Structure 1
């Protein structure tokens, strides 16, 4: 019997933190007690170890299991990865056994390309939202997966705002964002020397590999040294269907804690932004 490298949220539990990571095991636990968790799956910490054992490559078996679980996620959501009319978009996040805030990398809106962005625009009736999500995805993917300097994208964004006399990102129109998407793709091509990948399956595999590689980025190594976290436990990867905070003034993104993280005061504490996505907080 083949080893299990990938788990649906409903297949895991809070007791599997070592295998599924802190984030993944808690998503599994919340799913199984009936909370409304956007569905997804977890590529295990053991798969991370295997990735390094294989010279930083995903094995055929791990890839096969990711594809199998992606098909189940399509059934759960009623959406199809790469579909022109009803596309599934996912987030790809790291999640080690021990919390390491901000040390590893996240990619949102994965699955967008020139076809699916139009499908999202039609389905939501909100072209501005669709192209805002797309420009964010190109920037995150370029930065996290290929190491394209974030500043190149940020400079293009600021130049677009300055040209139009805007102060806030939210003032950018759908047409502005369409232009920005083309500029971002050109930045990507200039730096990577190939076109931005439009195959969502290829995007996903590259993103999973990037999260595994981020386990050994310098930030993460330094953090583990500071907090005596073992270097050999690896990180899991959480692939989760997207929910969006950037659809307008009736949506937002934020973080909440059961205690104040600065003072330890036993009161709910949080911060949020309207019409934004997670990396903005």
Structure 2
């Protein structure tokens, strides 16, 4: 995420958005993910358990939050984030022996190469052996323009299923986070909010639902998920981002479901 943010492009994005905090929040996310995926894992560096570059950067983030007396990442100021980005770069240099690239093309091609290398990673090879997937298939890389769910309180990100993947019930089901990016949801970095009443659990009873906070956006999302299931004739797993009250669909694929749900979905 956020490939292309450099010392040359950051000032332009700040001028365009008039939101310095958002830009540096996106930048620190880029640094974290790039160092983890491209500079460590794709480079074949095997760090001891719990001592990888991602863990070290996350520790630095938590130290800053503690020193500032805040709990959530969203409470960090633009100045906090600028300081954090510089500390991240120093940490990367000292631990990985290489500088975080300050060139958009270098970042892009580094990311592309990392995806191709991942096809031959140990876990990927083991998975293909277990699932009898041919090794010669290879993988593809999609390069997409960014939309940002962390551009303030009119922005968000989420994942959803056209049916409940645990029960197969024909009700729109999912979770979302305000002022966040997709990784926050899938990596469990923050407790996600329920999409609607059908998505509520005992753990998120007090959290706001998307259909209450952004009813117009939710209505559009609901229409789209219905179209997707009718088109693909299967339960869909979808990812979406809301940038300044505009809904963007990122991905749809056949959703995974347990045995009980599979039977009910097949029957219905």
The alpha-carbon distance between structure 1 residues 184 and 118, as it changes in their structure 2 partners (threshold 3 A), is: same
What's the CA shift for 1:251?
A: 0.5
- The structure 2 residue matched to 1:176, chosen from 75, 80, 105, is 80
> Conserved in 1, the CA contact under 8 Å of 2:53 and 2:92?
no
- The structure 2 residue matched to 1:137, chosen from 14, 17, 30, is 30
Q: When the two structures are superposed, what TM-score results if normalisation uses the length of structure 2?
A: 0.62
5+ long unaligned stretches in structure 1 = 1-107
Distance 2:176 2:110 in 1: 30
- The structure 1 residue matched to 2:113, chosen from 209, 214, 228, is 209
SS of the residue corresponding to residue 14 of structure 2 reads: helix
The answer for the alignment partner of 1:128 in structure 2 is: 21
The answer for the alignment partner of 2:7 in structure 1 is: 114
Distance 1:168 1:223 in 2: 36
Distance 1:272 1:116 in 2: 29
SS of the residue corresponding to residue 243 of structure 1 reads: coil
Distance 2:175 2:168 in 1: 16
Q: When the two structures are superposed, what TM-score results if normalisation uses the length of structure 1?
A: 0.59
Q: Using CA pairs below 8 Å that are at least 6 residues apart, which structure has the higher relative contact order?
A: 1
Computing the radius of gyration over CA atoms, which structure comes out larger, 1 or 2? Answer: 2
The alpha-carbon distance between structure 1 residues 164 and 143, as it changes in their structure 2 partners (threshold 3 A), is: same
Q: Is 1:218 the equivalent of 2:122?
A: yes
The answer for the alignment partner of 1:66 in structure 2 is: none
Of 240-249 and 224-233, deviating more is 224-233
The alpha-carbon distance between structure 1 residues 243 and 231, as it changes in their structure 2 partners (threshold 3 A), is: same
Distance 1:159 1:125 in 2: 28
The answer for the alignment partner of 1:264 in structure 2 is: 168
Aligned residues: 174
The answer for the alignment partner of 2:93 in structure 1 is: 189
5+ long unaligned stretches in structure 2 = 41-51, 186-268
Q: Is 1:248 the equivalent of 2:152?
A: yes
The alpha-carbon distance between structure 1 residues 223 and 267, as it changes in their structure 2 partners (threshold 3 A), is: farther
Deviation by residue 1:95-153 (Cα, 9 ceiling, x = unmatched): xxxxxxxxxxxxx0000012212211121010000000000001111000011621011
SS of the residue corresponding to residue 194 of structure 1 reads: coil
What's the CA shift for 1:225?
A: 3.2
- The structure 2 residue matched to 1:160, chosen from 61, 64, 76, is 64
